[in-house]
Amino acid sequence: MFHKEGYKIIVATLLTVIIGILLAQYYIPVNWIQKTVQVVLLLLLVTVLQFFRNPKRVGALSDEHIVSPVDGKVVVIEEVYEKEYFKDQRIQVSIFMSPVNVHVTRYALSGLVKFSKYHPGKYLVAWHPKASEENERTTIVVENPVFGAVLYRQIAGALAKRIVNYAKEGMQVTQGEDAGFIKFGSRVDLFLPLDAKIHVSLNQKVKGGIDRIASK
């Protein structure tokens, strides 16, 4: 299954590839060049299809733990000062998504959306130290009775040009459900309470909606 954010791009790519293959068939007389062009076009289609895949995952719902909002690799675990919303110390856990990862963002916990804001910005590489503050990004805060307020931030990378965020203030959301999409390379930062017990380590690969990031 593919994510709805990719439908237009998938259709446009499919039509382009079909037209390109037919043109190559009729207008490129050199056989090896013709076949090379056709293979490259097919690889382009496969790349787009795999990027917009949206595997359905069913995890055990629990207010007692935070699940990973995305697929990727844990690149940051540290105590930081979160200055946009909390204005106090939090534990930051950052997950980097390469272009080959599933780019669906899922809600890390169930609860009430207290804050949702889009920030235009730059397109530094997602692992750059200033990406969290200078890149195009969205900041979302979800609150539940066990964890209180938890902030997650979708951050565009060097290749990403659009962040899709479905969270609106006042919404009741469910852990693991589709929360948005980041197109073409990115990262998500989680800002957790200081008393949260972290269950991941640096460089660990995690699956969105399934793997546990933290618990109370």
148-156 sheet: strands from edge to edge: 172-173, 111-119, 137-144, 148-156, 186-192, 88-97, 72-82, 205-206
CA 106 to chain centre: 8
Distance between CA 216 and CA 201 in Å, rounded? 17
- Catalytic residue list: 186
Query: CA of 63: how far to CAs of 42, 91, 112, 136, 211, in Å?
Result: 44, 18, 12, 30, 14
Location of structure tokens 């900041």: 139
